[in-house]
Structure 1
Amino acid sequence: MEGKEQDVSLGANKFSERQPIGTSAQSQDRDYKEPPPAPLFEPEELKSWSFYRAGIAEFMATFLFLYVTILTVMGVSNSNSKCSTVGVQGIAWAFGGMIFALVYCTAGISGGHINPAVTFGLFLARKLSLTRALFYMIMQCLGAISGAGVVKGFKKGLYMAKGGGANTVNAGYTKGDGLGAEIIGTFVLVYTVFSATDAKRNARDSHVPILAPLPIGFAVFLVHLATIPITGTGINPARSLGAAIIYNREHAWDDQWIFWVGPFIGAALAAIYHQVVIRAMPFKSRS
C-alpha cells in the first residue's frame, strides 16, 4: 500500500481519532484546547495504513470478546447445577472483564470501541469520520460472527441446544421492556465512555486519577447484572448480530431489531447528554 512505510514511521497516527478512547485520551497537557470536530468524510484516511490497522484491531477485539463471553455463557447453560458454575455474576464479569482488557489493549490503535453503539455515539459527537465509523461497524460485526462461529465449532450440538448465547427478550417481559432495558443499558455504557475519555475533564479534575478502560468495563459488568434476566443483555449490536447469525433460529431473529434500535437510541441520548449538558458546564471559574 502506497505510503505504508512512511505512515508506520510516523507512528501510524496520521489519521487517528480526534479524541481516542483509553489511557491515551488522558495524555494531553493540562492546558486543554478543544480539538476540531472530525470531518464527515476524510478520503485521505483510505490511503493510510493506520486506518486499516485500526479496523483489524476492532475485528480482533470483537472476535476475542465474543469467543470468551459466549463460551462462558455456554458453560453456565450446560451445567445441571448453577452452583458448580460461575453463574450470572460470572457471565457479567466475563463481559465486563473482557471489555476492560480489550479496551486497554486496543485504545491506542483504534480507540477500543468494540461496539457499533459506542462508535455511533462517538460519531454523533464528531470524534471520528463517517468513513471510519462505518468501517469500524463492519469489522466489529465480522469479528463477532467469527467469534461466535468458533464457539459453535467446538460443539455444535451443545451450542444449538443451549441457545448459542443469542439475545432474546426473556419470558415474562414484553418487547417494550426489552427495548427500554437496551436503551438505558447502552446509555450507561456510552455515557461512561464519554466521561472516562473526556480530556477536558482530565484537565479540569487532574486530582482524580483514572484509567479509562476500568470504569468502561465496570459499567458493562453492572449493566449485565441488571439486564441479563430481561434480554440476556445486548447493548452491543455486533455481539447480538454475531450470535444470531451463527445460532440462526427464528426466535432469535424476532427480537433482533431491539438489539439495534435500543443501543443506537441509548448511544445517541448519551452523546447528546454529554455534549449538551456535561460539556456545556463552565470550564473555568468566572469572577
Structure 2
Amino acid sequence: MCSGVGLQGIAWAVGGTIFTLVYCTAGISGGHINPAVTFGLLLARKLSLTRAIFYMVMQCLGAICGAGVVKSFERSEYELLGGGTNTLNPKYSKSTGLVAEIIGTFVLVYTVFSATDAKRNARDSHVPILAPLPIGFAVFIVHLATLPITGTGINPARSLGAAVVYNRKQAWDDHWIFWVGPFIGAGLAASYHQVVIRALPFKSKATL
C-alpha cells in the first residue's frame, strides 16, 4: 500500500507524464497512448477501425518494451515492487476493483472527449484549453482515488506490458479486470458524450 505522500507522488508523476506524452504525440497520432481511449474514440466514430487496431497493437508493444527497459535498469527495485503490475488489493472484492476501473476510465475518456471536442471549442471559445492539461489532471485524480484499490489500471496496454515482462501468477490472477473495466468505462463515456452532451443546444456566446 502507498503512504499518503507516496500515493500523491505517484499520482503527480503519472499525471505529469501523461500530460507530456499527449502533448508530444498529439500532432503525430492525436495522442493515442491508451487502448481504452482509442476504443472510446472508435465508438464515437472519430477514427477508423483499421487505425484503432493499429494504435492498440502499437500501444501494447510500446508498453511491453517500456516495462522491459525498466526491468533492465532497475532489476532489484523491479522485483521488490512486483514489476509494477496492476493487482487487486485483497481488501477489496473483484466487483469493487472492476467498478473502480470502470469509473476511473470513464473520467479519463470523458475528459478526453471534452478537451478535444470541436463543438465545445467553438461554443466555449472564450475558455482557452490546452487539451493535454485536463487529461493529465484527470489521470492524476483517478490515481489518487484508485491506487489503493487496483494500483490504477485505466490503460490496458500499461497493465499488459507490466504483466508480460513480470510474468508471475499474481500479475495474471485478476488481469481481466484491467481490460474489461477500462473498455466498459470508455464505452460509457463515448455513449454519454455522443448521446447527451453533443445533443445540448449550441451557443456561440457564453451567457454570464
Quickly say closer, same or farther: Cα 1:199–1:153, change in 2 above 3 A.
same
Amino acid at match of 1:241: L
1:270 is aligned to 2:192: no
Task: State the distance in 2 between where 1:251 and 1:151 align.
Answer: 19
Task: State the distance in 2 between where 1:171 and 1:191 align.
Answer: 29
**Alignment equivalent of 1:233, drawn from 136, 152, 158:** 152
1:261 is aligned to 2:174: no
Structure 1, gaps ≥5 residues long: 1-75
- Please name the residue that 1:97 is paired with: 16
Runs of 4+ in 1 over 4 A off after TM superposition: none
Q: CA deviation at 1:155?
A: 3.3
TM-score by length of 1: 0.69
- Please name the residue that 1:251 is paired with: 170
- Please name the residue that 2:125 is paired with: 206
Task: State the distance in 1 between where 2:91 and 2:201 align.
Answer: 46
If asked which structure has higher relative contact order (CA below 8 Å, sep 6+), I would say: 2
Higher helix share: 2
**Alignment equivalent of 2:55, drawn from 128, 136, 150:** 136
Amino acid at match of 1:268: G
1:221 is aligned to 2:127: no
Q: CA deviation at 1:94?
A: 1.1
- Please name the residue that 1:25 is paired with: none
Task: State the distance in 1 between where 2:13 and 2:95 align.
Answer: 27
Q: CA deviation at 1:284?
A: 4.5
Alignment of structure 1 residues 41-56 onto 2, 5 Å: none
Larger Rg: 1
- Please name the residue that 1:156 is paired with: 75
Task: State the distance in 2 between where 1:119 and 1:170 align.
Answer: 27
Structure 2, gaps ≥5 residues long: none
Q: Deviations over 1:175-196 (max 9, x none)?
A: 1010000000000000000000
Amino acid at match of 1:132: R
Q: Deviations over 1:244-270 (max 9, x none)?
A: 011111111011100000000000000
- Please name the residue that 1:125 is paired with: 44
Amino acid at match of 2:99: G
Amino acid at match of 1:122: L
Aligned positions, number: 204
Q: Secondary structure, in 3 states, of the residue corresponding to 2:28?
A: coil
TM-score by length of 2: 0.94
RMSD: 1.6
1:282 is aligned to 2:188: no
Task: State the distance in 2 between where 1:114 and 1:227 align.
Answer: 20
- Please name the residue that 1:195 is paired with: 114
**Alignment equivalent of 1:171, drawn from 67, 80, 90:** 90
Q: CA deviation at 1:161?
A: 2.7
Percentage identity across aligned positions?
81
Task: State the distance in 1 between where 2:118 and 2:159 align.
Answer: 31
Q: CA deviation at 1:88?
A: 1.1
